[in-house]
């Protein structure tokens, strides 16, 4: 092995900061081994590193969202459920303000789906099939409270389980399914409002998923049965049609989600849910198209 003695000048230069040659130091960068002065030192997990190595380390580090963005985005939180509850409560407050006419502007009746409605003061406004699902009766506050409680229970579970996009599609299509059932089965002049159809859709999807996963179904089926039966009691002014329609659509979409839950079936899942949406829309516009 050959040996090359180090001169005194080289030894002295090695004891000075490579960025500040006039500053003596005996601290080395743990990554590259160069001498660095206190100003150039950045504390690492073990020892210190120089500015260049620090830049390389930051450049190669995995990208993460700033904490403020994570809090705003609400990662891991059922923000869709919270948003729907907030919207329903907000509209309920607006419904109480005289002169705004929020209820009359957004409520639904089958007559609004018929361009040839026998009522001269009713025009073709099919979007009410969705808007009505965010309204509630101002004469019975428990209508709002019960629906929001049910949404709080099932919405948080399903949103966490399905993800926000799938969950929102389930909610909206279930609400539309409830309105379609009202259009087909209720009198043309029967006005309906409330999130019950959409919430029954969530329950329907949850029942399907629970059944396949082997969960205890007894209490859940009793709850669904009681709520369905209540809708058929005379003089309660409950649109049982929306309950049945929402439940059926929700159960169907839940089944599609369940059978196509693997990443390889994502395209089939999208096509399946899209097919349900197209069928509901065709039925919604059937009186205008045919």
Q: How many residues would you count in the chain?
A: 290
CA distances from 1 to 4, 7, 10, 42 (A): 10, 19, 21, 37
Residue 212, pLDDT > 70, answer: yes
What pLDDT sits at residue 4?
42
The predicted-structure confidence for 218-277, as pLDDT tens digits, reads as follows 666 676 666 666 655 665 567 889 999 999 999 999 999 999 988 899 999 999 999 999
With residue 155 as reference, give the H or E element that holds it: helix 141-162
Dihedral sign from CA coordinates of 240, 281, 276, 203? negative
Band of residue 77 on the pLDDT scale cut at 50, 70, 90 = confident
User: What percent of the chain has a predicted confidence (pLDDT) above 90?
Assistant: 48
HSE-up of residue 43 (Cα within 13 Å, Cβ side): 0
Distance CA 134, CA 87 (A): 7
CA distances from 236 to 61, 95, 146, 183, 239 (A): 62, 21, 15, 19, 9
Distance CA 179, CA 143 (A): 17
- pTM given for the model: 0.72
More confident residue, 1 or 17: 17
Average pLDDT along the chain: 83
Q: DSSP class of residue 111?
A: G
What pLDDT sits at residue 70?
41
Helix, strand, coil distribution of the chain in percent, nearest 5: 65, 5, 35
CB atoms within 10 A of CB 262: 9
Residue 88, pLDDT > 70, answer: yes
């Amino acid at each position: 092995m050959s040996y090359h003695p180090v001169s005194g000048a080289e030894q002295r230069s090695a004891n000075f900061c490579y960025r500040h040659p006039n500053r003596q130091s005996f601290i080395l960068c743990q990554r590259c081994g160069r001498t660095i002065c206190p100003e150039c030192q950045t504390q690492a997990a073990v020892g210190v590193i120089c500015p260049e190595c620090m830049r390389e380390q930051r450049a190669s580090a995995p990208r993460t969202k700033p904490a403020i963005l994570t809090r705003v985005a609400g990662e891991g939180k059922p923000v869709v459920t919270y948003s729907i509850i907030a919207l329903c409560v907000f509209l309920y407050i607006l419904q109480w303000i005289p002169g705004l006419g929020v209820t009359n502007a957004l409520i639904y009746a089958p007559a609004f789906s018929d361009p040839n409605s026998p009522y001269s003061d009713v025009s073709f406004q099919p979007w009410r099939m969705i808007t009505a699902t965010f309204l509630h009766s101002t004469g019975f506050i428990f209508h709002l409270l019960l629906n929001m409680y049910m949404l709080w229970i099932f919405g948080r579970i399903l949103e966490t389980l399905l993800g926000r996009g799938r969950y929102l599609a389930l909610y909206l299509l279930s609400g539309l399914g409830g309105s379609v059932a009202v259009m087909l089965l209720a009198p043309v002049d029967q006005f309906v409002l409330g999130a019950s159809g959409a919430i029954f859709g969530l329950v329907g999807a949850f029942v399907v998923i629970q059944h396949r996963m082997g969960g205890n179904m007894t209490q859940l089926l009793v709850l669904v049965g009681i709520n369905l039966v209540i809708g058929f009691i005379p003089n309660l002014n409950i649109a049982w049609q929306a309950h049945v329609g929402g439940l059926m659509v929700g159960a169907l979409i839940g089944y599609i989600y369940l059978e196509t839950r693997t990443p390889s079936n994502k395209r089939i899942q999208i096509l399946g849910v899209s097919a349900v949406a197209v069928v509901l829309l065709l039925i919604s516009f059937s009186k205008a198209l045919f």
